[in-house]
Amino acid sequence: KNEVEQSPQNLTAQEGEFITINCSYSVGISALHWLQQHPGGGIVSLFMLSSGKKKHGRLIATINIQEKHSSLHITASHPRDSAVYICAVRPRNRDDKIIFGKGTRLHILP
């Protein structure tokens, strides 16, 4: 079983829809990252969370440490949001080696 599980693996939605991507993990963590990777490979760090909720523009990230779960929400989705979204966790007790989820491929149709 992967230590970081993302769902769904693939998601296609219409422009304007509210998007939710989920991440569950099985280890105790010190921080969780949400990353965005566009075609061509470049990765952008969207959020780093250790508790609660963060908002940046149309993006919202939440984390529940007790349930070992995080969600990334996109409001009023747009075709330019089409990308792979990757959840990554930094375990608390493993010398700081970051563990990545497999990613969620999001495609927003105009």
Interface with another protein by CB under 8 A: which residues?
30-31, 33, 35, 41-45, 48, 50, 86, 88, 90, 92, 95-103
Q: Work out how close the CB of 39 gets to another protein at its nearest, in angstroms, rounded to a whole number.
A: 12
Q: Work out how close the CB of 76 gets to another protein at its nearest, in angstroms, rounded to a whole number.
A: 26
Least Cα distance to 82 among 8, 5, 4, 19 occurs for: 19
Q: Work out how close the CB of 16 gets to another protein at its nearest, in angstroms, rounded to a whole number.
A: 29
Q: How far apart are CA 10 and CA 74, in angstroms?
A: 15
Nearer to another protein, 14 or 45 (CB): 45
